[in-house]
Structure 1
């Protein structure tokens, strides 16, 4: 089933999100528009990013061919006013959506979010948060992440 990819949501002109594999970008998703649909081999899709540019001082938006496995539709937005501590979220940060976890609910709809990929903790407004979802077999799924109340290093000490 994994080799049978449904390409129907990935037509020219469609807005999507893309995960990048480069160092410093893992755990983040960036919006892009499909400029050329999927090529048969090697299953690449041609995109133009909305917030990433092609160079340090360039105003020209980045165009790139990426593996289809790194592309997903834009996630649905839920109407949620509050997020819970330990809840998996995506936070709008550095021009993309970064996978994180709510550490603290602060005053006035602000939250402290920790990004495991970069080991950063930042404060964000609830308008810059969404529930974390994964695109699995053509459907949006909430991934349940069971966290232990102590670090894994605790077991190494035993």
Structure 2
């Protein structure tokens, strides 16, 4: 691929997750699709988010360009059972938010506490994944 990183896990069409560190987004992850892979020339990647939109009352998906100095890929979608006090990411408010399992209920429902917002919310197992830094 001329102009792009060869054998890149961030090739065009790949679904990725991005952590946004702006105010109000810390600790959350959002799914996106690579629109244009990492360029050798500019070291930038172009993404289109699945659940974030371009602005107030817009249905248009947010497109984002980011300088990419050291790409890393985290596979975090394996389903599993979770234990009390285990750090998890929960899909909530259109993104993945870091929390801690407080209690397991009925085998596939979990109560999760979010340190950042001081909320406790129940989730189905498929809405959780093991937290990774």
With over 3 angstroms needed to count, the CA separation of the structure-2 counterparts of 1:69 and 1:114, relative to structure 1, is farther
SS at 1:78 equivalent: coil
The question of 1:43 aligning with 2:43 is answered: yes
The answer as to whether partners of 2:101 and 2:112 remain within 8 angstroms in 1 is yes
Cα displacement (A) at 1:72: 5.0
Q: Distance in 2 between matches of 1:92 and 1:36?
A: 26
- Once the two structures are superposed, the pairs formed by residues 1-150 of structure 1 within 5 Å of their partners are 8-40=8-40, 43-68=43-68, 72-73=72-73, 75-80=75-80, 82-107=81-106, 109-134=108-133
Deviation at 1:20, TM superposition (A): 0.8
CA distance in 2, matches of 1:121, 1:72: 31
Gaps of 5+ in 2: 1-5
- Cα distance 1:90–1:46, how it changes in 2: closer, same or farther (>3 A)? same
- Where in structure 1 are there 5+ consecutive unaligned residues? 1-5, 135-158
Aligned length: 128
CA–CA distance in 1 between the matches of 2:115 and 2:67? 24
Larger relative helix fraction: 1
Q: Which moved more, 1:64-73 or 1:12-21?
A: 64-73
1: CA distance, partners of 2:116 / 2:57: 26
Distance 2:122 2:38 in 1: 38
CA RMSD of aligned residues (A): 2.4
CA distance in 2, matches of 1:48, 1:113: 29
Deviation at 1:39, TM superposition (A): 3.2
| CA distance, structure 2, for counterparts of residue 118 and residue 125 of structure 1 | 20
